[in-house]
């Protein structure tokens, strides 16, 4: 609470890993060095155009279209092994690419490996940022990039930006020639606000990376926990059947799904997406709980440890959604024992969008399919080892066979 609320303003800087130190880092959003006027304008713009309740309502048809495409694809894959992280990633990526640029960038079939390459690129950026770097520990070596992490990050960033470079160029040319652009997507708003190409690239990269990997990771952990806990899965299925019309999931009121939402919360508690949150930096010297935090000190908040603290949580290592049933405890930044999305000024702005994606995709997969592990493996023996990084992924990706419910 001292960091995330009382001293939130003074501790709202970002400690940017050396791997992400680039010439354009003044244009970062998620990794913005401090809450500058540019950062504030980005937060206001993304909130109003992408993440507000009004914006999410306007996106419902598009989100439902992408969800339907995912389900149709899984229908064609019945009896075959599916790597769930790749299917969810492609669905989310195409949803975002349509919101931003009005175009699908990836194909669920991924016959040319583009989707896999794109996902690997996003993960590589996170991996580089989390890799112990000599330049982060010895400031005198900044700029040397002895491990090549900065160079590799730039390579991945440039690779991702090639997907929309042509669209931005054509859109600018269209505006210059006619003065009117018939399409109205997020790119239009950025051009109306006179964003440069570099600013557009950086914001898009932030949105694509933060808006895909976090949801993919949570989906994979949630599905793994439900598979391992058959009684909990049965309860969720019964609640969804009684509350949802499977043909209009996007119009459903998920706030009524008490136990289903409790499962999502419990997943986020036991497997927080960003286990150490993104490190903060002290803008000025200040005191927190009688400790003096010097200016420019880096602050890590170990959400993973807090979420497993036996003094806060009963039986903390057990997946027990019941702990959230009848509880007002939530992840929206007010309950500091449960902050998987952070809190204060630096709280994840895309939380409403991410939660909506998890609710619609997870409920659809539960209602439509029976989930079977390859070779009829025992679900209670799923490998739940974690792969540490900026995001907390499963070490062994979840693979499933989807069978249509009779």
Mean pLDDT for the stretch of residues 343-365: 94
pLDDT surpassing 60 at residue 246: no
Give yes or no for residue 177 having a pLDDT over 70. no
d(CA 48, CA 186): 11
Q: What is the mean pLDDT of residues 286-314?
A: 94
Partners of 393 in the beta sheet? 387
User: Residue 336 gets which letter from DSSP?
Assistant: T
Mean pLDDT of 129-144: 84
- Note the pLDDT of residue 390: 82
Query: What is the per-residue pLDDT across 9-67, written as a single tens digit (0 to 9) for each?
Result: 999 999 888 888 888 888 889 889 999 999 999 999 999 999 999 999 999 999 999 99
Q: Would you state the structure tokens that stand for residue 279, as one six-digit string?
A: 């490190």
pLDDT at 125: 87
Read off the pLDDT of each residue in 65-83 and give the average, rounded to a whole number.
95
pLDDT at 284: 96
Instruction: Give the predicted TM-score (pTM) of the model.
Output: 0.92
User: Which tokens hold the place of 285?
Assistant: 């010297």
Total number of domains in the chain: 1
138 is in which domain, residue-wise? 2-404
Q: How far apart are CA 221 and CA 272, in angstroms?
A: 10
Q: Is the pLDDT of residue 379 over 60?
A: yes
Q: Is 134 exposed, middle or buried (0-12, 13-18, 19+ CB in 10 A)?
A: middle
Interval 299-308 mean pLDDT: 94
pLDDT score, position 181: 47
Rounded distance, CA 26 to CA 33, Å? Answer: 7
* Contact (CB, 8 A) for 280 and 12: yes
Alpha carbon distances (Å) from 40 to 32, 146, 305: 10, 34, 31
Average pLDDT over residues 3-12: 92
Which secondary-structure segment (H or E) carries 13?
Answer: strand 13-14
CATH of the domain at 369: 1.10.630.10
Q: Are 43 and 349 in contact (CB under 8 A)?
A: yes
| 3 state DSSP class of 399 | strand
Beta carbons within 8 Å of 304's beta carbon, 6+ residues apart? 272, 275, 276, 392
Distances (CA, A) of 207 to 29, 99, 112, 203: 9, 11, 24, 6
The pLDDT of residue 219 is: 97
Q: Which of 401, 371, 388, 59 is closest to 228 using CA atoms?
A: 371
- What backbone phi and psi angles, to 5 degrees, belong to 346? -95, 15
pLDDT tens digit string along 317-334?
999 999 999 999 999 888
66 by Cβ neighbours in 10 Å (0-12 / 13-18 / 19+) ranks as buried
DSSP single-letter state for residue 401: E
pLDDT over 90 percentage in the chain = 69
Average confidence (pLDDT) over 331-359: 92
Mean of the per-residue pLDDT values for the chain?
A: 91
């Amino acid at each position: 609470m001292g960091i995330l609320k009382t001293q939130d303003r003074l501790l709202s800087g970002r400690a940017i890993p050396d791997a992400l130190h680039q010439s354009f880092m003044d244009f970062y959003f998620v990794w913005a060095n401090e809450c500058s006027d540019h950062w504030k304008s980005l937060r206001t713009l993304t909130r109003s155009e992408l993440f507000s309740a009004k914006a999410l309502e306007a996106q419902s048809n598009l989100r439902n279209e992408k969800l339907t495409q995912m389900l149709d694809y899984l229908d064609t894959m019945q009896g075959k092994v599916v790597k769930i992280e790749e299917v969810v990633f492609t669905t989310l990526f195409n949803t975002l690419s349509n919101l931003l640029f009005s175009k699908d960038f990836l194909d669920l079939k991924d016959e040319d490996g583009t989707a896999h390459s794109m996902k690997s690129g996003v993960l590589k950026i996170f991996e580089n940022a989390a890799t112990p770097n000599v330049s982060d520990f010895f400031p005198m070596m900044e700029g040397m990039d002895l491990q090549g992490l900065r160079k590799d990050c730039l390579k991945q960033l440039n690779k991702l930006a090639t997907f929309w470079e042509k669209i931005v160029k054509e859109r600018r040319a269209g505006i210059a020639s006619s003065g009117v652009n018939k399409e109205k997507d997020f790119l239009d708003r950025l051009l109306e606000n006179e964003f440069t190409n570099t600013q557009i690239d950086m914001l898009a990269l932030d949105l694509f990376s933060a808006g895909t990997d976090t949801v993919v990771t949570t989906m994979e952990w949630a599905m793994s926990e439900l598979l391992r806990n058959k009684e909990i899965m049965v309860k969720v299925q019964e609640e969804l059947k009684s509350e949802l019309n499977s043909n209009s999931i996007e119009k459903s009121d998920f706030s009524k799904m008490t136990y289903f939402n409790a499962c999502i919360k419990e997943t986020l508690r036991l497997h927080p997406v960003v286990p150490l949150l993104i490190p903060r930096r002290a803008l000025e010297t200040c005191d927190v709980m009688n400790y003096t935090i010097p200016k420019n000190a880096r602050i890590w908040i170990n959400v993973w440890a807090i979420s497993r603290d036996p003094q806060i949580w009963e039986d903390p290592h057990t997946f027990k959604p019941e702990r959230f049933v009848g509880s007002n405890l939530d992840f929206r930044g007010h309950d500091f024992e449960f902050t998987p999305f952070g809190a204060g000024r630096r709280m994840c702005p895309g939380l409403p969008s991410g939660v909506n994606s998890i609710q619609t995709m997870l409920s659809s997969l539960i209602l439509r399919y029976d989930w079977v592990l390859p070779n009829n493996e025992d679900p209670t023996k799923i490998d739940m080892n974690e792969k540490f990084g900026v995001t907390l992924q499963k070490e062994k990706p979840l693979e499933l066979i989807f069978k249509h419910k009779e």
